[in-house]
């Protein structure tokens, strides 16, 4: 029997493991996009949804950069529709020889089809890969294209990437341009709710980067008066610097700005201003596409910046002959800079265009910026003095910080493998399997240590509120014991010696109380990570634990809920269960009042008469009871409850921290945690009504 069973299993496995031509699947046309949308737009959540708008708008921006368009309109319409209109040349509508269908249908249904592959339609463009508008078509349940060209208007409708009919001419038209209206497919996207502020910020940025183009956005989703914004900036990225620094204190009034054609291919724009801060804020663009990981243009800029400032400092005797030069970190402290490059055939890393790889970009920026900035320093001695003062102060702080950091590491090494005594480490030494909880207070830390899984969970209690690093230099920060312990526990070092490969835990989890103080501590820790460990956020290693707000119990049914809305829904559900049962006396429970008991509350309350005098105490009502316990802090949970609700990988809820918009995130941190009081006061006044259920 055993042999026959094994023989049968072997035959079945052989049959299942057969691999031949029949197992090869060929995805035609846009099927691949619908099958694997994340490969083309990043994800199918909110970011991917908005990416559809960016792709269509990018085509209109390309027309503007080609000098063929100066007016772009974006409308958010009811039922999830988005319409993008431009007054460019209009997508060609004649028959394409290679595909046998109209050029419009070709670019809407064929990947890697467009006018950006060296045929002379565009000198520069953002959409290098040519998959933009076809991907939008593939991921839309419906799409309509209207083209005004040659005094006529042409229309074609699509469903899920497939044309319903051939392109048709519907009448005469004045002017020229392209209109693309689409509705994102809700069977693909987890959300189809468009964020008004996100779209405004993106289109404002595009208007800054494209001088002379007017971009209008209108929200027509509601019946009420439609909000509308129009962006038009003659100053280009110099105006953009003004916008970014509007809530910061500048070190000098005059903004440096240069624009110049380097050769026949590369056009360079750079604007910068120093502010009273410690961090660098640099935004690099190629053909209006943000390159968050920089690239060759950023390398060229940084080389020229360091060389120019050092040359000026030596020439004006700010640096003595025997003194070391200012470093790149010194000259970038407090720098706010925008680099905008326009060139044909940009070479990006992947469809997300995160990093520019064109070799020719480096000498172009280095030459154009270096020459112009040297002249700027000579012609503006007041600005030059302010910039040099900032850089020299940064150099002195760097020396002090290095001494403080070295002292920290030397001390840590003597403590035993650089680990602080308060850390309860895990037994695993595999960072991919290990996680560390940064816990508020010793009480919660004690419960977490008892409730954790020692194999892969480490606990680091943080006593009180850590230093606000937004207002502190590195040397002062390293003198703060809680931050020092955290840095040593992570193992990555900090500053110029930071190495993410030495991170000891691939899940760094912030676990604080669900009250105002807990939120403040969480914000302080996030500020530390955002300013000094941004790579940990980018890599997806930072999480926020979500402890429950309430424990709700009816009989043996115990549930943990995480919001007031969920609490009301849970109580309603339990009351429904109670109503369906019969009491011991045969009565239906719906005939008895349900009693909601808050733990630690008095068993019965005094009744106050109409004239305000106290009357007799009334007995507590009888009936089915639902017990509700409000957790004010993590310390109120015993180890078992903390494990079950917040630390058990099978049942816990966590939020992963990521940066969707670096510029906006930077601005929020600066407003909420920076030294300037007035912007924070305005922020609180504006958003005070949005804050609900705050514990005071």
- What CATH number does residue 686 fall under? 3.40.50.670
* Averaged pLDDT for residues 153-162: 95
User: Helix, strand or coil for residue 178?
Assistant: strand
Per mean pLDDT, which of 6-10, 36-40, 410-414, 607-611 is the most reliable?
36-40
**442, 469: one domain:** yes
User: Is 611 among the domain residues?
Assistant: no
pLDDT band at 632 (very low <50, low <70, confident <90, very high): confident
**224, 243: one domain:** no
Residue entry with tokens 């409850």: 641
User: What is the reported pTM?
Assistant: 0.68
**164, 226: one domain:** yes
Of 660 and 639, the one with more pLDDT = 639
Of 380, 391, 255, nearest in space to 334 by CA: 391
Alpha-carbon distances of 361 from 18, 241, 301, 352, 365, rounded to whole Å: 51, 22, 10, 19, 6
**227, 307: one domain:** no
**114, 207: one domain:** yes
pLDDT number for residue 615: 44
Question: Alpha-carbon distance 87 to 174, whole Å?
Answer: 11
Q: Please report, for the domain that includes residue 251, its CATH number.
A: 3.30.230.10
**219, 295: one domain:** no
pLDDT band at 113 (very low <50, low <70, confident <90, very high): low
| 16 pLDDT more than 60 | no
User: Is 316 among the domain residues?
Assistant: yes
**501, 355: one domain:** no
**102, 193: one domain:** yes
Of 445, 429, 536, nearest in space to 437 by CA: 445
Question: Alpha-carbon distance 424 to 457, whole Å?
Answer: 9
Q: Please report, for the domain that includes residue 128, its CATH number.
A: 3.30.565.10
**204, 250: one domain:** no
pLDDT number for residue 675: 65
| 1 pLDDT more than 60 | no
Question: Alpha-carbon distance 490 to 565, whole Å?
Answer: 37
* Averaged pLDDT for residues 109-122: 57
| 197 pLDDT more than 70 | yes
Per mean pLDDT, which of 191-200, 400-409, 495-504, 661-670 is the most reliable?
191-200
pLDDT number for residue 602: 39
Question: Alpha-carbon distance 481 to 45, whole Å?
Answer: 40
Strands 71-76, 214-219: pairing kind = parallel
pLDDT (tens digit per residue) in 366-380: 999 999 999 999 999
Tell me if 220 sits within 8 A of 76, measured CB to CB: yes
pLDDT number for residue 599: 65
What spatial distance separates the first Cα and last Cα of the chain, rounded to whole Å? 73
pLDDT band at 131 (very low <50, low <70, confident <90, very high): low
Of 23 and 594, the one with more pLDDT = 594
Of 289, 258, 261, nearest in space to 364 by CA: 261
| 13 pLDDT more than 50 | no
pLDDT number for residue 57: 94
- As a dihedral over the C-alpha atoms of residue 561, residue 564, residue 565, residue 568, rounded to 10 degrees, the angle is 80
Strands 162-163, 550-554: pairing kind = unpaired
Point out which residues pair with 601 in neighbouring strands.
none
In the listed set 366, 398, 430, which residue is the last one of a domain according to the structure? 398
In the listed set 231, 249, 267, which residue is the last one of a domain according to the structure? 231
User: Is 631 among the domain residues?
Assistant: no
User: Is 642 among the domain residues?
Assistant: no
In the listed set 210, 231, 252, which residue is the last one of a domain according to the structure? 231
Domain count across the chain = 3
* Averaged pLDDT for residues 181-198: 94
pLDDT number for residue 22: 54
pLDDT number for residue 414: 35
Q: What is the CA radius of gyration of the chain?
A: 31
pLDDT number for residue 585: 52
pLDDT band at 14 (very low <50, low <70, confident <90, very high): very low
* Averaged pLDDT for residues 299-316: 95
pLDDT number for residue 255: 96
pLDDT band at 631 (very low <50, low <70, confident <90, very high): confident
Question: Alpha-carbon distance 265 to 155, whole Å?
Answer: 36
C-alpha 32: how far from chain center: 27
Per mean pLDDT, which of 347-361, 439-453, 670-684 is the most reliable?
439-453
| 416 pLDDT more than 50 | no
pLDDT number for residue 653: 87
pLDDT number for residue 413: 39
Of 592, 552, 543, 545, nearest in space to 571 by CA: 552
| 45 pLDDT more than 50 | yes
pLDDT number for residue 28: 56
pLDDT band at 265 (very low <50, low <70, confident <90, very high): confident
**Of how many residues is the chain composed?**
696
Question: Alpha-carbon distance 548 to 652, whole Å?
Answer: 10
Lowest mean per-residue pLDDT among 47-56, 464-473, 518-527, 634-643 = 464-473
pLDDT band at 519 (very low <50, low <70, confident <90, very high): confident
| 169 pLDDT more than 60 | yes
Question: Alpha-carbon distance 48 to 55, whole Å?
Answer: 11
Inter-axis angle of helices 381-414 and 296-315, nearest 10: 110
pLDDT band at 514 (very low <50, low <70, confident <90, very high): confident
| 361 pLDDT more than 90 | yes
Point out which residues pair with 163 in neighbouring strands.
158
Catalytic positions are 440, 513, 515, 517
| 299 pLDDT more than 50 | yes
**394, 422: one domain:** no
Share the mean pLDDT of the chain.
82
pLDDT band at 616 (very low <50, low <70, confident <90, very high): very low
pLDDT number for residue 442: 79
User: Is 644 among the domain residues?
Assistant: no
Of 632 and 195, the one with more pLDDT = 195
* Averaged pLDDT for residues 484-495: 87
pLDDT number for residue 10: 46
Sign of CA dihedral 660, 666, 669, 671: negative
**271, 376: one domain:** yes
User: Is 555 among the domain residues?
Assistant: no
Lowest mean per-residue pLDDT among 172-186, 205-219, 416-430, 537-551 = 416-430
Task: Report long-range pairs for 550-559 (Cβ below 8 Å, ≥24 apart).
Answer: 550/628, 550/629, 550/630, 550/631, 551/627, 551/628, 551/629, 551/631, 551/641, 552/626, 552/627, 552/628, 552/629, 553/626, 553/627, 553/629, 554/578, 554/624, 554/625, 554/626, 554/627
User: Is 196 among the domain residues?
Assistant: yes
Question: Alpha-carbon distance 249 to 245, whole Å?
Answer: 7
CB-CB neighbours of 34 under 10 Å: 18
pLDDT (tens digit per residue) in 435-485: 999 998 878 888 899 999 999 999 999 887 888 887 777 777 877 888 888
* Averaged pLDDT for residues 244-264: 91
Range of the domain at 218: 31-231
**394, 462: one domain:** no
**Within 13 Å of residue 236, how many CA atoms lie on the same side as its CB?**
21
Report the run of H or E that residue 240 belongs to, with start and end: helix 237-244
Of 556 and 384, the one with more pLDDT = 384
User: Is 192 among the domain residues?
Assistant: yes
């Amino acid at each position: 029997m055993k042999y026959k069973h094994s023989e049968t299993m072997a035959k079945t496995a052989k049959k299942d493991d057969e691999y031949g031509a029949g197992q090869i699947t060929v995805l035609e046309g846009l099927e691949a996009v619908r099958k694997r949308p994340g490969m083309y737009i990043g994800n199918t959540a909110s970011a991917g949804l908005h990416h559809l708008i960016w792709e269509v708008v990018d085509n209109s921006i390309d027309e503007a950069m080609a000098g063929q368009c100066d007016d772009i309109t974006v409308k958010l319409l009811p039922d999830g529709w988005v319409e993008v209109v431009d007054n460019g040349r209009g997508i060609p509508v004649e028959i394409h020889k290679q595909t046998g269908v109209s050029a419009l249908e070709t670019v809407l249904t064929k990947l890697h089809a467009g006018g950006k592959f060296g045929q002379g339609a565009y000198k520069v463009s953002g959409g290098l890969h040519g998959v933009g508008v076809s991907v939008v078509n593939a991921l839309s349940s419906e799409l309509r294209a209207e083209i005004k060209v040659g005094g006529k208007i042409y229309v074609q409708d699509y469903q899920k990437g497939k044309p319903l009919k051939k392109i048709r001419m519907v009448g005469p038209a004045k002017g020229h341009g392209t209109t693309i209206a689409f509705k994102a497919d809700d069977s693909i996207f987890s959300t189809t709710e468009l964020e008004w502020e996100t779209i405004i910020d993106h289109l404002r940025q595009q208007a800054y980067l494209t001088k002379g183009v007017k971009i209008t956005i209108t929200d027509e989703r509601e019946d009420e008066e439609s909000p509308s914004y129009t962006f038009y900036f003659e100053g280009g990225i110099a105006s953009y610097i003004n916008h970014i620094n509007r809530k910061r204190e500048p070190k000098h009034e005059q903004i440096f700005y240069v624009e110049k054609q380097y050769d026949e291919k590369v056009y360079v724009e750079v604007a910068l201003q120093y502010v009273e801060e410690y961090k660098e804020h640099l935004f690099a663009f190629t053909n209006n596409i943000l390159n968050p990981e920089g690239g060759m243009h950023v390398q060229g800029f940084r080389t020229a910046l360091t060389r120019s400032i050092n040359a000026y400092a030596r020439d004006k005797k700010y640096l003595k002959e025997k003194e070391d030069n200012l470093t790149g970190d010194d000259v970038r402290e407090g720098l706010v800079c925008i680099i905008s490059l326009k060139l044909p055939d940009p070479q990006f890393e992947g469809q997300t265009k995160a990093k520019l790889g064109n070799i020719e970009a480096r000498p172009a920026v280095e030459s154009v910026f270096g020459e112009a900035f040297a002249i700027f320093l000579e012609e503006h001695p007041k600005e030059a003095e302010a910039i040099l003062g900032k850089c020299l102060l940064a150099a002195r702080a760097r020396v002090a910080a290095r001494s403080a950091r070295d002292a920290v590491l030397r001390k840590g090494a003597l403590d035993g493998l650089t680990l602080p005594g308060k850390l309860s480490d895990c037994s695993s030494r595999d960072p991919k399997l290990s996680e560390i909880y940064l816990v508020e207070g010793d009480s919660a830390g004690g419960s977490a240590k008892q409730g954790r899984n020692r194999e892969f969970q480490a606990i680091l209690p943080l006593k009180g509120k850590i230093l606000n690093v937004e207002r502190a230099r590195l040397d002062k920060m390293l003198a703060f014991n809680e931050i020092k312990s955290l840095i040593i526990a992570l193992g990555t070092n900090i500053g110029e010696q930071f190495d993410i490969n030495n991170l000891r835990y691939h899940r760094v989890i912030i676990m604080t109380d669900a009250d105002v103080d807990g939120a403040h501590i969480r914000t302080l820790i996030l500020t530390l990570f955002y300013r000094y460990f941004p790579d940990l956020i980018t890599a997806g290693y930072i999480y926020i634990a979500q402890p429950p707000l309430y424990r709700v119990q009816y009989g043996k049914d115990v549930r943990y809920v995480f919001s007031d809305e969920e609490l009301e829904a849970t109580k309603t559900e339990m009351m429904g269960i109670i109503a369906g049962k019969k009491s011991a006396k045969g009565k239906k429970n719906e005939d008895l009042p349900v009693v909601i008991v808050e733990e630690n509350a008095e068993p019965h309350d005094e009744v106050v008469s109409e004239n305000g005098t106290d009357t007799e105490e009334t007995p507590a009502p009888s009936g089915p009871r639902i017990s509700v316990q409000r957790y004010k802090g993590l310390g109120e949970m015993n180890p078992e409850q903390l494990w079950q609700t917040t630390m058990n990988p099978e049942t816990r809820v966590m939020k992963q921290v990521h940066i969707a918009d670096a510029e906006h995130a930077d601005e929020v941190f600066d407003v909420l945690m920076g030294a300037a009081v007035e912007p924070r006061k305005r922020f609180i006044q504006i958003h005070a009504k949005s804050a609900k259920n705050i514990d005071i």
